Amino acid sequence: MSIKRAQEVLSLARSVVVFTGAGVSAESGVPTFRGGGGTAVWRGMDAMQLSSARMVGEDLKLVWEWFEYRRDLLARCEPNLAHLAIAAWESRFPEFTLVTQNVDGLHDKAGSSAAIELHGNLWRGRCLECSSRVPLDMTPHVEIPPACRDCGGNLRPDVVLFGEYLPAESFEKARESAGRADVCLVVGTSALVYPAAEIPLVCAQRGATVIEVNPEPSGIGGSRSIMIAGRAGDVLPLL
């Protein structure tokens, strides 16, 4: 029933925003942050502790080891049917924007051309001194933290950690798209992390229809939203 309603709404949509969280990558084998499944705990600490701004100052080496662990795990993960469906939707609507909270790069790998990465990307490093950004390759780094090739300063993951501001330009772009959306498809997020979780709220406030795909819907879209309780890899191809 809700899939049929969602298909109808999407068939009439002119401007679509897709908002994804860790759940869209769960079927690719990437641990989520909260909820069921293999949540990311490493050396007895959870993601909230490891991925905090404070940790960069306290123990940059540990932060690097945590991200090296995740890159090593991600190097073996492939996009799943949900990522592929979202990539195919780019050309299906007059206006389409993909906004992701994920830092795993799987939307790019699936062929999405312009995902707005609100929390950065763990395949990039950024220099603490000169802020220049560098791509990080798959192989583990011999020295941790790696040195910036331009100025020799220490690199950090180019990722927004807890307690850090989101990249203003990306967040503004996401908010603008949310303000124009007819439909917002929310996939695989507990919608607990702010300010990212404001994006579907902006859509709902502007009268867009929110469709949520999640085995445990977060209810972010409010009473008018269409809830589809299911896994992203199963539901999105149906939509």
Catalytic residue at 83?
A: no
Is 221 an interacting residue with respect to ligand BV8 (CB under 6 A)? no
| DSSP-derived secondary structure for 88-157 | HHTTTSSEEEEEE---S-HHHHHT-S--EETTEEEEEEEETTT--EEE--SSPPSSSSPBPTTT-PBEEE
Stretch that binds ligand BV8, among 17-25, 86-94, 145-153, 168-176 (CB under 6 A): 17-25
- Does residue 27 bind ligand BV8 (CB under 6 A)? yes
Cβ-based neighbour number of residue 14 at 10 Å: 12
Least Å from the CB of residue 69 to ligand BV8 = 11
Angle at 41 between CA 156 and CA 102, to 5 degrees: 55
Q: Which residues, numbered 59-98, are part of the site for ligand BV8 (CB under 6 A)?
A: none
48-84 per-residue burial string, b: 16 or more CB within 10 A, e: under 16: eebbbeebbeeebebbbbbbbebbeebeebebbbbbb
Binding to ligand BV8 by CB under 6 A, coded x per residue (else -) over 130-169, reads -----------------------------xxxxxxx----
Contact between 225 and ligand BV8 (CB under 6 A)? no
Rounded to a whole number of angstroms, the minimum distance from the CB of residue 36 to ligand BV8 is 7
Question: Which residues sit at the interface with ligand BV8, rule CB under 6 A?
Answer: 21-23, 26-27, 32-35, 37, 47, 51, 101-103, 119, 159-165, 188-190, 192-194, 213-216, 218, 231-232
Q: Which residues are catalytic?
A: 119
